[in-house]
Structure 1
Amino acid sequence: MVQPPPERPGATPPTAPPHDVGPRPDTRHAQPGQAPAPAAGLAYHRLALADPRHRWWSPLVEIPLAGAVYLALSFALGLVWFAAHAGDPASARIELGPSGYPVELFTRPGIFLMTFLGIIVMLPAVLVGRLVMGPRPIGLILSAAGRVRWGWLTRCTGLAVTVFVAAQAVMMLLPVEQAETGAAQAGLPQTVWNGGTSLAILVMILLLVPVQCATEEVVFRGLPMQTLGRWLRHPAWAILLPVPVFVLGHGYDPWGQASVGVLAVVAGWLTWRTGGLEAAIGLHAANNVIGLGLGLIGWADPTASAGGAPGDLVVAVVVDGLYALLVVRLARRRNLPRLRMPPMTTPMAPPPTRFDPIPESRRNP
């Protein structure tokens, strides 16, 4: 039987190159003689660090670039609007109410379309900024998976719609003081429906408003959270600091803005807790679609700048809080991944040691 040649002292037989089987240990804070701690995953607000080419100063270029693209797209959208009304310049005028929303939002489909397209164009502007400055993949602004988790988004949206519809049903059963009589009455308010005009706006509510909500979540939640997460480690900074900007973007009275603030805090916390924007988009979309739908048929006034009450804030806390609890429970049951492993550099293999199959004793007979 042929025996394998003996190994030369000090020689290492050829082996397969080593493989990375998991996160590399974190040696930055390890003391001499102390085993390094295993690398932890990156939460949503820290996902920019998943790109090994990220730079701390990138947002200082990314955000102005996105703003410039947004202004250009808004200008182009305005040109299209005025060109479409060239024959009747007076019809191109859009009158804004005290809350900043058009007063003809539910009576002129063209104004409804322009109002929400004017928000939606912020999405490509932010994506252009990300495409130029990183981090990569660009989908990191959506979730730790680097993309929209469509199944999770669908479940969150369905859950949010269920919670909001149930809340609206309960509130409609409660007695409400009527302004005309001063008496407390319960039941459905008078319905308003303007035929084809209302139908066209209803279609846009169902198609455009979810995209508008996703846009606002990317712009007012995803972008600032991941920008702050480059510089500040604790998630509280990324969740709370963007809230005032989101609140001031809505022209409501103090109680209405407080309710918006509750939604912003819950959406930010869910984004961090679930590792993506899907739960926040579901909450935002259900709130806006149902609110605008009720406004279309005259059951509510989602654009009112006054008339808020402490009860509105209580409802927001209960409804948004219940949704958050249900989402977290669902995420745990589904074992939803919420972290992304940090970048790993494959260690360079040592140079191979020459293996001589001829024993030393046979070289010089």
Structure 2
Amino acid sequence: MIIPVLLVLMLVLQIIVGTIVMLIEMAVTGVQPPVDGSAPLSPWMMLAANLSIAVMAPVAMLLMRWIGKVPVREQFRIGRRASWGRLGLYTGVFLVLLLLVNGIMVAVDPSMLQSIGLSAGVILLIAITLLTTPLQAAAEEVMFRGAIMPAIGSWIRPAKAAVVVALIGSSLVFGIMHASIDPWLLSYYVLFGVCTGLMAIISRGLEAPIAFHVVNNVVMMVLSALGSDDGHIAIDRSVGMGGPFMLVYIGMDLVAVALVWLFERRRRAAEVHEGVAQPTA
């Protein structure tokens, strides 16, 4: 029940909000969008898309509380407290990782810098990205890793099989919802879901996947904005838009998972050491 409600509601909200914004833009500018839907997204359309997805976070939390009987606090961690410190640390680490990888990509192909420019539309899109993309990315993690993944796992026994099926199932749904039939792009989205799902499992919480998703989307959107046509971005996920170059980003995602594993391993070792050194009465 939780899964179809979330997926249908997310699609319906995006269609309704996007249509309203498109009609307003048409009335103001008098420009008719192409009938094939190939028009680039304006900053205001991006704002509408981000906010319509951001709304799904509280919706997912309410459904998990109402249907799944899971208290809100328990939706963000398992067997430990949710930690703002963890979220901040992972955000900083992943920001360094993303900037390093994209810096290497630019060094290999300097032509990527040729289209970069600033205009009023670009500045507006960057502002919208910084303010609302974190909400969009965090909402997707709350929805897919915090609600859909455990919802799938709740139908499977034993527990080890449930974890595997839930991880794969939620990642497939995440990939399909990005509406791309390009094999490279679809594979990347599915693997992105697998990686953030592994982060949630390893860390027993959503801080790491939320941090990675937020940093990834913000960095990539800011770079896209800088290379956009006055803040208008063409999001093309058709066949041929992906390619072997995406192996770099897949590798980056796997490195992020490894960093989470190393950090959580060290943290648990430290907790065990402190527990031995300072026994309680």
TM-score of the superposed pair, with normalisation by structure 2: 0.78
- Between 1:300-309 and 1:87-96, the stretch displaced more is 87-96
Which residue pairs with 2:265 in the alignment? 332
| Distance (whole Å) between structure 2 residues aligned to residue 81 and residue 190 of structure 1 | 28
Q: Radius of gyration: which is bigger?
A: 1
Which residue pairs with 1:141 in the alignment? 75
Which residue pairs with 2:188 in the alignment? 259
CA offsets 1:200-226 (integer angstroms, 9 cap, x no match): 211111121111111111222221221
CA offsets 1:231-280 (integer angstroms, 9 cap, x no match): 22221111111122111122442112222222111111111111012111
Q: Is the 8 A contact 2:3 2:148 kept in 1?
A: no
Distance 1:326 1:194, change over 3 A: same
The correspondence for 1:280, drawn from 193, 205, 209, is 209
Which residue pairs with 2:102 in the alignment? 168
Q: Is the 8 A contact 2:146 2:206 kept in 1?
A: yes
Query: CA shift at 1:132, angstroms?
Result: 2.0
Distance 1:293 1:89, change over 3 A: closer
Which residue pairs with 1:247 in the alignment? 175
* 1:210 and 2:134 correspond: yes
Which residue pairs with 1:30 in the alignment? none
Distance 1:70 1:285, change over 3 A: closer
Query: CA shift at 1:123, angstroms?
Result: 1.8
The correspondence for 1:104, drawn from 31, 35, 40, is 40
Secondary structure at 1:191's aligned position in 2?
Answer: coil
Query: CA shift at 1:292, angstroms?
Result: 0.8
Secondary structure at 1:329's aligned position in 2?
Answer: helix
Distance 1:125 1:283, change over 3 A: same
What code does the residue aligned with 1:151 have? G
Q: Is the 8 A contact 2:14 2:48 kept in 1?
A: no
What code does the residue aligned with 1:209 have? T
Which residue pairs with 2:166 in the alignment? 238
Q: Is the 8 A contact 1:263 1:316 kept in 2?
A: no
Which residue pairs with 1:152 in the alignment? 86
Query: CA shift at 1:320, angstroms?
Result: 1.1
| Distance (whole Å) between structure 2 residues aligned to residue 331 and residue 302 of structure 1 | 39
Which residue pairs with 2:143 in the alignment? 219
The correspondence for 1:320, drawn from 246, 253, 264, is 253
Q: Kindly, what percent of the aligned residue pairs are identical? A: 26
Q: Structure 2: any 5+ residue segments left out of the alignment?
A: 271-281
Which residue pairs with 2:117 in the alignment? 192
Query: CA shift at 1:302, angstroms?
Result: 7.8
Distance 1:317 1:302, change over 3 A: farther
Q: Is the 8 A contact 1:205 1:289 kept in 2?
A: yes
Q: Is the 8 A contact 1:140 1:146 kept in 2?
A: no
| Distance (whole Å) between structure 2 residues aligned to residue 86 and residue 190 of structure 1 | 27
What code does the residue aligned with 2:169 have? L
What code does the residue aligned with 1:335 have? R
Moved over 6 A (4+): 91-96, 299-302
- The structure with higher relative contact order (CA 8 Å, sep 6+) is 1
The correspondence for 1:310, drawn from 237, 244, 249, is 244
Query: CA shift at 1:168, angstroms?
Result: 0.7
Q: Structure 1: any 5+ residue segments left out of the alignment?
A: 1-59, 177-184, 338-365
Distance 1:161 1:73, change over 3 A: same
Report how many residues are paired: 260
Secondary structure at 1:241's aligned position in 2?
Answer: helix
Secondary structure at 2:113's aligned position in 1?
Answer: coil
What code does the residue aligned with 1:248 have? I
TM-score of the superposed pair, with normalisation by structure 1: 0.62
Q: Is the 8 A contact 1:82 1:89 kept in 2?
A: no
| Distance (whole Å) between structure 1 residues aligned to residue 269 and residue 149 of structure 2 | 20
